[in-house]
């Protein structure tokens, strides 16, 4: 079965090579597609047979980006059986105890389109040192929490119209308990501080990316919240998200754009932090 992955990049020197290495191991480098939005840091070089689609640098426009993702996904389905779409700091994982890789998952599932179980990977500053380039990320970071905003509609075997940020789509909501999206934006405190300063200085079209434009104090609030959860002992050793999935499904409604949405009231996060099982640790 042929399966592709599509992402977007602009000067992603840290994440793009890791994205290519991970999804290349899952699907084959030749089945990866990157829309390069004007990178000038050489980050798209040396990725092997990854397909780089270069477009001119313009203001960040989420409507434009999502239109491209929807059309490109549909076009690639003329040649592929299914595809994954995600941001470059989002790593989709098929349960390693059940599936060899994402291709095996796509071959097995009968679903037309799926929402991922969204997990926010966090740097717990009191327990974990600063990130080291010499070790895989998941060897150094194991704490996650469920976030309904990260339950993105990242897999489909049929043409699909994505909503902003891939948070919604025109396909009915369905989950698979073996498909996770691990968001790495907060994997390291120092990296996130630098990244926030970079994205805050981008040129934006319209009101998109408000979270990316906030001051660095916003980052401190995010990490302080993680520290508070740990200090309160809100840690679960049961890696099971049936309750959260049920909550999402109970909240599904059509939004004004005619897309299935369970974040109309602002979304929600799990109270507990969860520990990633050890069999995740060597994935990336």
138 close to 283: Cβ distance less than 8 angstroms:
yes
16 alpha-carbon distance from chain centroid: 13
Encode pLDDT of 108-117 as tens digits: 999 999 999 9
Q: What is the pLDDT of residue 205?
A: 67
Determine the straight-line distance between the first and last CA of the chain, rounded to whole angstroms: 24
Is the distance from CB of 39 to CB of 11 less than 8 angstroms? yes
Q: How much is the mean pLDDT over the chain? A: 94
Distance CA 239, CA 245 (A): 13
Model pLDDT, residue 195:
84
Look-up: residue for tokens 């980050």?
Answer: 43
State the pLDDT at residue 244. 97
Domain count, the chain: 1
Mean of the pLDDT values across residues 83-107? 98
pLDDT tens per residue across span 28-50:
999 999 999 999 999 999 999 99
Residue 196 pLDDT grade (very low, low, confident, very high; cuts 50, 70, 90): confident
Print the domain residue range for 109.
Answer: 3-280
Could you read off the pLDDT of 224-270 as tens digits, one per residue?
Answer: 999 999 999 989 989 999 999 999 999 999 999 999 999 999 999 99
Mean pLDDT of all residues in 12-38: 97
Going from the C-alpha of 42 to that of each of 50, 97, 165, 238, the distances in angstroms are 14, 37, 26, 42
Answer yes or no: is pLDDT of 213 > 70. no
Give tens-digit pLDDT for 45-64.
Answer: 999 999 999 999 988 889 99
């Amino acid at each position: 079965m042929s399966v592709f992955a599509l992402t977007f990049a602009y000067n992603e020197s840290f994440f793009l090579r890791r994205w290519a290495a991970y999804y290349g191991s899952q699907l084959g480098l030749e089945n990866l597609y990157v829309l390069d939005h004007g990178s000038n840091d050489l980050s798209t070089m040396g990725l092997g047979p990854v397909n780089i689609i270069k477009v001119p640098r313009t203001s960040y426009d989420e409507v434009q980006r999502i239109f491209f993702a929807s059309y490109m996904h549909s076009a690639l389905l003329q040649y592929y059986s299914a595809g994954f779409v995600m941001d470059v700091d989002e790593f989709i994982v098929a349960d390693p105890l059940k599936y060899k890789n994402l291709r095996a998952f796509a071959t097995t599932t009968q679903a037309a389109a799926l929402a991922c179980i969204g997990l926010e990977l966090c740097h717990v500053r009191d327990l974990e040192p600063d990130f080291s380039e010499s070790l895989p990320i998941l060897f150094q970071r194991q704490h996650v929490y469920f976030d309904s905003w990260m339950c993105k509609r990242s897999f489909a075997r049929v043409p699909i119209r994505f909503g902003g940020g891939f948070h919604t789509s025109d396909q009915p909501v369905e989950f698979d308990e073996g498909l996770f999206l691990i968001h790495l934006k907060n994997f390291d405190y120092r990296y996130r501080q630098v990244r926030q300063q970079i994205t805050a200085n981008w040129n934006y079209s319209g009101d998109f990316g408000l979270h990316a434009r906030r001051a660095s104090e916003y980052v401190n609030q995010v990490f302080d919240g993680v520290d508070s959860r740990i200090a309160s002992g809100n840690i679960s050793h049961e890696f099971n998200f049936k309750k959260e999935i049920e909550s999402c499904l109970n909240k599904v409604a059509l939004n004004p754009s005619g897309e299935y949405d369970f974040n109309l009231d602002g979304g929600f996060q799990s109270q507990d932090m969860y520990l990633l099982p050890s069999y995740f640790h060597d994935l990336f």
